[in-house]
Copies of this chain bind each other. A is one copy, B any other.
Amino acid sequence: MSAPPRPGRPRSEQSRQSVLRAASELLREAGLRAMTTEEIANRSGVSKATIYKWWPNKYAVAIEAFLGELMAEAPDPDTGSAREDILGVIRGLAHFYSGASGRVFAQLVGEGQSDTTVAAELQAHLVAPRRALMRTVWDRGVARGELRDDVDPDVAVDLLLGPLLYRLLLGHAPLDAPAIDAIIGSALGGLAAERAYHQN
C-alpha cells in the first residue's frame, strides 16, 4: 500500500515545499528568466546543492512549482449544452491566462522554444490535459448531435484553443470575456457567409 521503506534518510518533504513556494513567489515577482537558483536557495533556506540534487535546473523547479499551484484540474462543466460546456472551459482558461499565472505560463512556453525538456514537460502536464478535457466536451457534443461529426477532433480543439494562445503569446488583443464569447461564437458558427460555402 505505502511506499516500501527505503534505507537511508528520506527526502525532506519540507525542503521540497519550501523550494517550490520560493520559486512560485519569484516567478510572480521577477519572472522566469530573472529568477535565479541562488535566490530560490536563499528564500527557501534550502541549499543550492540540494536543489540541484532534485531538479536539473531552475526551469524544472519552475514547472513543478507552477503545476503545484494549479492544484485541481479544471473540471468538466457538463451543462447539457455543448456550447455552454465549451464556453465554460474556455472562460476558465482565459481567466487563468489573464492573471499572473498566465504570464508565467507564457514565459514557460517561451522557454520551451529553446529547451526541449521544458517543452515536453509543458506538453505533458499543461497542454495535453486541457486538450483532453476539451476533447471530452467535444465528443459529447458530437454524440448529442450538437457539433459536427465530420470535423477532425484535433482540428476542432485547435480552433477553439488556438486563438487564446495566440492572444496570450503575441499580446495583440485582450483576453476578456466579450472577446472570448466572440471567438467561440464565431468558431462554432463559422466565418463563411453561406453554409453551403463549406464543402470540405
Contact = CB atoms under 8 A, between A and B. Distances in A.
Interface string A161-199: 111111101111100000101110111111111110110
A77 interface: no
Contact of A186 (B159, B172, B195): B159
Contacts of A192: 83, 146-148, 188-190
B155 A182 contact: yes
A156 B146 CA distance: 22
B172 A127 contact: yes
A79 interface: no
Contact of A158 (B107, B156, B171, B183): B183
B159 A159 contact: yes
Contact of A171 (B123, B169, B182, B193): B123
Copies, count: 4
Interface stretch (A14-22, A36-44, A60-68, A108-116): A108-116
A88 interface: no
A156 B151 CA distance: 19
A119 interface: yes
A29 to B, nearest CB: 13
A191 B148 contact: yes
Nearest to A105: B113
